[in-house]
Structure 1
């Protein structure tokens, strides 16, 4: 089984660069699917209160037989809980659902520019971090101007920013801002909900290296330095998405795939989305 490379976050914590995403996996399928991912070698599981499957993710981690220290678990604050006290209560709910003693990473799910104040929300996140119940804290779907405001008003620098990234939305400016401030980038929707899988450029590279277009796309993410967590509900695809460590893309391949950028989102625009 290939060893997944780790990335050191700005607080010294180690996060596996390849993880397993549980977005859109129904709760009744989540335990079995997450167990399949852990059996395939994944040691990083991403969930959220919004997904409605935290309980099943926690059950899978407990049932896996793996040491808790060997599985990195992320969850996210729900959009209706941005007020300080609401955020603390929401974190308590997440921990109760997961049934775990600590969370490895807790994120603000969306900045929600027209609803409340994410700086106040971040104060609650800092309190959670100080308690030790979340080993790292970060944000999701934040743009540079959101991050800049947070950095000006806060003590703890977010460990990660989880954003939509794929070959049709390379997010170079957001990634560069994160790198400048030692905020790791995590990529959600890494294959653009499947839209990139028929791209002729990626297909040509995949044929040359003897891999699928999904594997080539995920390898592109890894070699750019992003943390990525593909999602699948089938064991075969779960295993295929993990099989990324016996080949490398050339610099030319990376450049060709990056040049496919269209600034095309599959999800909401963080500057307009208000939950």
Structure 2
């Protein structure tokens, strides 16, 4: 089978060699003053980019928070050009990154860690402290920013503890989100997710698709609620629906049939 090749393109310039420098040393994105989107690509003729329009919608919202504009058609053309040779039967990770200095797109093979995560993840809870910020939009909570140090640190801490991922808790002990995913669980015959409005939670495109298909409701959640649930999943663009196999060392039930339903919704365009 043919493999996905690494590719890089710059908005306004086009594709450049993968090992070519494309970001100036003083680019604001290097200090976290930028935003991005990560998308799943199914190889084929032509390749299919999962929920491109929804990702570009959020990309535009992020850009507005940075007082920047998005030339949507230019980004769509860039995506088409950089994904045009993704082989049938493969998957790739596409990342769109923008700042006031540089706008780029990169394509890579889907990481093996993502494939493993689709089979299930072991999760710990970590305190983040903050919960609501209704009067501080300048904090960029609704933007997918490149200021990712805390998210990366949380994932490192999870690995140090022998697990795969984490769930952030606010100061009241309620669940917010994972570093790169939204939480979904099943209880009482319904699908649930933590509230998003006026909270430190980034609305996810995968969660939005699952909500539209399955009627997900919002309710506050504590870790003990998940231990009593019929199952819990982390939803993200690349993993889709990853079943949570344990939380802080306590096993959670894993329902293969429910995971199949979620995965079908989460990973398709």
More strand by share: 2
More helix by share: 1
TM over 0.5: no
Question: TM-score normalised to the size of structure 1?
Answer: 0.29
Question: TM-score normalised to the size of structure 2?
Answer: 0.29
